[in-house]
């Protein structure tokens, strides 16, 4: 059975909906998203948190669609173009502003669905989160065991619930080991190739309303980075897990995600910004 792994990463996409931070009009949203300082920070986190684990996947057979607007300011648009030229798994989708965010996400992903795949493993990759280097391998391989459940409704979610939460603020980066139920990162939604849905059609915090789900808690599979520019910054429901006494955060992040914690810590101090001014940031 052919399982296509297809991810969607929105990089400061300018659209009418899909955000918790509200703006009165498109001009205000454009000014917010395209602020040079914000874009520089987003690019740093994307480059040093998100990309290392994706580039080191033990199973390189996946597609990641990077979605942004055709008017993304330079040099960031050229940086994305250069990235997709260098990385065969990456695709760039330049989607003009659309009022319906789900339609925009479908327009980005649908051209990249393999019609001869038996099932598509959709995943959402936020541009400041990370998945472990064996995420694609496990999400594809575990489906072979989960297929009988998927066949019941031809929809299924698989939640790799063990991970790390990093908080970047003026004091540097703190690390917390967390089990989070259906976090964005490392949550896979398996659909048939003709479903005409993207991963965004199924909000992660209430995905149980849409399909059966399975939890795979054995090993750290995601990193959630909380920073000044988060749309919400909420951790999500869950609890801690024992990462050792004392925990080797640097070793764990390097081994599982290819993330350099010391580099992130310096950057957070250099940015000298508080957490995001959001009601649930860090909770």
Task: Delimit the domains of the chain by residue range.
Answer: 3-160+181-216
Distance of alpha carbon 130 from alpha carbon 139, whole angstroms = 15
* CATH topology (fold) of 3-160+181-216: Spore Coat Polysaccharide Biosynthesis Protein SpsA; Chain A (3.90.550)
Give, to the nearest 10 degrees, the angle between helix 26-33 and helix 36-45. 50
Q: Give tens-digit pLDDT for 241-277.
A: 999 999 999 999 999 999 999 999 999 999 988 777 7
- Percent residues over pLDDT 70 in the chain: 94
Residues 6+ apart with CB under 8 A from 61: 5, 136, 140
Helices (H) and strands (E) in the chain, counts: 8, 12
- Please, which contacts does 141-145 make with residues 24 or more away whose CB atoms are closer than 8 Å? 142/216, 143/1, 143/3, 143/119, 143/190, 144/1
Q: Decide if pLDDT at 164 tops 60.
A: yes
**Considering the chain, what is the average pLDDT of its residues?**
93
- Please, which contacts does 44-49 make with residues 24 or more away whose CB atoms are closer than 8 Å? 44/267, 45/127, 45/128, 45/225, 45/227, 46/11, 46/127, 46/128, 48/259, 48/260, 48/263, 48/264, 48/267, 49/128, 49/129, 49/130, 49/166, 49/223, 49/225, 49/257, 49/259, 49/264
pLDDT score at 133: 98
H helices of 165-214, in order, are none
Cβ atoms of 261 and 168 closer than 8 Å? no
Distance of alpha carbon 70 from alpha carbon 157, whole angstroms = 32
Q: Decide if pLDDT at 91 tops 60.
A: yes
Instruction: Work out the average pLDDT over 83-99.
Output: 96
pLDDT score at 123: 98
Q: Decide if pLDDT at 281 tops 60.
A: no
- The dihedrals phi and psi of 99, each to the nearest 5 degrees, come to -70, -35
Distance of alpha carbon 7 from alpha carbon 188, whole angstroms = 9
Q: Decide if pLDDT at 19 tops 60.
A: no
pLDDT score at 234: 77
Q: Decide if pLDDT at 229 tops 90.
A: no
Instruction: Work out the average pLDDT over 57-71.
Output: 98
- Percent residues over pLDDT 90 in the chain: 84
Please, which pLDDT band fits residue 225 given cuts at 50, 70 and 90? Answer: very high
pTM score, whole prediction: 0.94
């Amino acid at each position: 059975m052919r399982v296509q792994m297809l991810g969607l990463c929105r990089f400061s996409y300018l659209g009418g909906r899909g955000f918790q931070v509200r703006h009165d009009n498109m001009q205000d949203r454009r000014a917010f998203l395209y602020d040079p300082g914000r874009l520089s920070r987003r690019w740093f986190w994307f480059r040093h948190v998100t990309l290392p684990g994706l580039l080191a996947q033990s199973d390189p057979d996946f597609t990641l669609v990077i979605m942004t607007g055709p008017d993304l300011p330079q040099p960031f648009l050229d940086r994305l173009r250069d990235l997709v030229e260098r990385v065969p798994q990456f695709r760039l989708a330049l989607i003009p502003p659309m009022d319906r965010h789900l339609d925009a996400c479908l327009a980005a992903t649908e051209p990249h669905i393999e019609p001869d795949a038996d099932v598509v493993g959709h995943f959402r990759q936020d541009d400041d989160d990370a998945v472990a280097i064996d995420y694609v391998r496990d999400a594809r391989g575990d489906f072979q065991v989960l297929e009988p459940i998927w066949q019941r409704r031809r929809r299924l979610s698989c939640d790799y619930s063990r991970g790390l939460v990093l908080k970047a603020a003026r004091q540097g980066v703190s690390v917390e080991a967390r089990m989070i139920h259906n976090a964005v990162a490392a949550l896979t939604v398996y659909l048939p190739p003709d479903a005409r849905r993207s991963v965004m059609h199924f909000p992660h915090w209430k995905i149980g309303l849409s399909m059966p789900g399975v939890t795979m808690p054995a090993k750290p599979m995601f990193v959630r980075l909380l920073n000044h520019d988060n749309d919400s910054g909420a951790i999500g429901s869950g609890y801690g897990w024992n990462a050792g006494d004392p925990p080797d955060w640097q070793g764990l992040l390097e081994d599982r995600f290819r993330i350099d914690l010391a580099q992130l810590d310096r950057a957070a101090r250099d940015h000298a910004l508080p957490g995001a001014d959001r009601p649930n940031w860090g909770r």
